[in-house]
Amino acid sequence: KCVIDKVTRNQCQECRFKKCIYVGMATDLVLDDSKRLAKRKLIEENREKRRREELQKSIGHKPEPTDEEWELIKTVTEAHVATNAQGSHWKQKRKFLPEDIGQAPIVNAPEGGKVDLEAFSHFTKIITPAITRVVDFAKKLPMFCELPCEDQIILLKGCCMEIMSLRAAVRYDPESETLTLNGEMAVTRGQLKNGGLGVVSDAIFDLGMSLSSFNLDDTEVALLQAVLLMSSDRPGLACVERIEKYQDSFLLA
Q: Where are the domains of the chain?
A: 13-60, 67-252
pLDDT tens, 55-68?
667 655 667 788 89
What is the three-class DSSP state of 188? coil
As a CATH number, domain 67-252 is 1.10.565.10
Euclidean distance between CA atoms 154 and 183, whole angstroms: 26
Residue 241: predicted pLDDT: 96
pLDDT tens, 90-148?
888 888 988 878 766 565 555 556 677 888 888 889 899 999 999 999 999 999 999 99
Tell me the pLDDT of the chain averaged across its residues: 86
Could you list the mean pLDDT of each consecutive 10-residue stretch along the chain, which spans 253 residues? 71 77 70 75 85 70 81 96 83 84 63 73 89 97 97 97 94 93 88 86 94 92 97 96 96 87
